[in-house]
A and B are shown apart, each in its own frame.
Chain A
């Protein structure tokens, strides 16, 4: 059997990825996570002394805390299998990436295990998040200097 011939058979038999269904599930679950986040933000604004500008930090911290609990009980990976990007893209996905790596490497000790492996998956989010934030800020600064935009 030639490689080319095999590739044809393989394409016919391998089930196609259901992109539309996956996108729909991601939209619903991702949306729900954001709704919960918004509810928590309102909670902090109503019952505590937070404004719309300052409520971001405690909300994110709470969301990550919830995602860590779910990860610890092995529930977030089940959600992830169903929702795909829907549970990976929100900040809860970031929390899941951090805590799952931390749990995994617990057996190698606190420093060499948890400490050095915790950001194994989430590290790239931090690197590219920082880099892209820098460039976005740079572009905006230039646009403000040229008088196109205002701060």
Chain B
């Protein structure tokens, strides 16, 4: 299902704050703050993540020179049970808030909802985005952080990062949302929680091909298509699927993945980065900045999410996945 936005909701500002380990990221110079303390001066991982969210939102507001009461809606989510870090951050922001869960695809699904509210005229300014905290996420989905389990080469590293953007009415000086595709839930019966890239690749493929088909576009119409957190192997899988449809290698070079590039060539992160903060921190810092410099005129951002829980995996369920896309352009 592709949505075409008539009023061109614009992304008026963006900010990303990351944890200490993310100083190793290739996108480091685009992040606004690299924190020195992984707890963000709080007592627990979860409170730290809350602080990470409020600080990032504050930075977005500072950049746009507004205060929290100027914001109409806060749309966001994270990966912790019941999304308490985001809910608690919303308590501090004190604006109308809807928590959204699309796992790691929340970075884009939140922008889609914010754009729809803007299009409707219900929102003048809305903050959208998502975050993840490595320790808070790992303890919930996998093992305790200090447990010495061997992860396979397909495993990915959940980032500690938050990325938020301010969605408002059309402003020609900023990139705007042209269209969006709300992804279906795709399940190709993958069951390995240490191979999320493999589980999510079909969802990314489905959303990319649907968007291009309904928009009657080719990959060449974009300066870049960037997926969220497929990782090295997931990215290869999406490219292999598209190659089977007869898409040339030159075109496939325009497809990049935030998770695969996040930590550069560092092998200790295995297949790359993941987490709701991975796509958000890259999309709303690096990608938006590339519009400013004029390098990009049109990109497709495809955030991917694995909709599993530790319970569903232990009960033998497969991993359903989704991918949401926004087409962003700037004149």
A7-B188, A107-B44 known; A13 and B237 CB under 8 Å?
yes
The residue on A at minimum CB distance from B242 is A1
Cβ of B8 under 8 Å from chain A? no
Cβ of B240 under 8 Å from chain A? yes
Cβ of B195 under 8 Å from chain A? yes
Interface mask (A74-107 → B, CB under 8 Å = 1, otherwise 0) = 1011111111110110000100110111011101
Q: Which residues from A are CB-within-8-Å of B146? A: 71-72, 74, 76-77, 96, 99-100, 103-104
B148–A81 contact, CB under 8 A?
Answer: yes
Bound: A71/B150 CA distance, A: 15
Contact pick for A3, options B150, B189, B240, CB 8 Å: B189
Q: Using a CB-CB cutoff of 8 Å, which residues 99-149 of chain B contact chain A?
A: 139, 143-149
B43–A107 contact, CB under 8 A?
Answer: yes
Bound: A22/B143 CA distance, A: 20
The residue on B at minimum CB distance from A97 is B147
Q: Using a CB-CB cutoff of 8 Å, which residues 1-45 of chain A contact chain B?
A: 1, 3, 5-7, 9-10, 12-15, 17, 22
A1-B241, A10-B237 known; A80 and B149 CB under 8 Å?
yes
Bound: A81/B145 CA distance, A: 12
Q: Using a CB-CB cutoff of 8 Å, which residues 98-119 of chain A contact chain B?
A: 99-101, 103-105, 107
Q: Which residues from B are CB-within-8-Å of A17? A: 152-153
Cβ of A121 under 8 Å from chain B? yes
A-B contact count (CB 8 A): 94
Bound: A13/B45 CA distance, A: 35
Bound: A79/B147 CA distance, A: 10
B148–A79 contact, CB under 8 A?
Answer: yes
Bound: A13/B195 CA distance, A: 12
Q: Using a CB-CB cutoff of 8 Å, which residues 217-248 of chain B contact chain A?
A: 233, 236-237, 240-241, 244
A1-B202, A6-B202 known; A15 and B147 CB under 8 Å?
no
The residue on A at minimum CB distance from B268 is A81
Residues of A contacting B: mostly: helix
Task: Determine how close the nearest CB of chain A comes to the CB of B2; give it in whole angstroms.
Answer: 20
Cβ of B151 under 8 Å from chain A? yes
Task: Determine how close the nearest CB of chain A comes to the CB of B128; give it in whole angstroms.
Answer: 29
Contact pick for A81, options B150, B154, B201, CB 8 Å: B150
Q: Which residues from B are CB-within-8-Å of A72? A: 146
| Chain A to chain B: the 10 pairs with minimum beta-carbon distance, closest first | A80-B148, A104-B144, A84-B150, A100-B146, A100-B144, A100-B147, A107-B44, A76-B148, A77-B148, A3-B188
With A6-B237, A71-B148, A77-B145 given, can you name 15 additional A-B contacts, CB distance below 8 Å?
Answer: A5-B244, A6-B201, A9-B237, A9-B244, A13-B240, A15-B154, A74-B146, A76-B146, A76-B148, A80-B149, A83-B148, A96-B147, A99-B146, A100-B144, A100-B147
Interface on A for B, CB 8 Å cutoff? 1, 3, 5-7, 9-10, 12-15, 17, 22, 71-72, 74, 76-85, 87-88, 93, 96-97, 99-101, 103-105, 107, 121
27 contacts between A and B (CB under 8 A): A1-B202, A1-B244, A6-B188, A6-B201, A6-B237, A10-B237, A12-B240, A13-B233, A14-B195, A15-B153, A74-B146, A76-B146, A77-B146, A81-B150, A81-B151, A85-B150, A88-B149, A88-B150, A93-B148, A96-B147, A99-B146, A101-B144, A104-B144, A107-B43, A107-B45, A107-B46, A121-B147
Interface on B for A, CB 8 Å cutoff? 43-46, 139, 143-154, 188-190, 195, 198, 201-202, 205, 233, 236-237, 240-241, 244
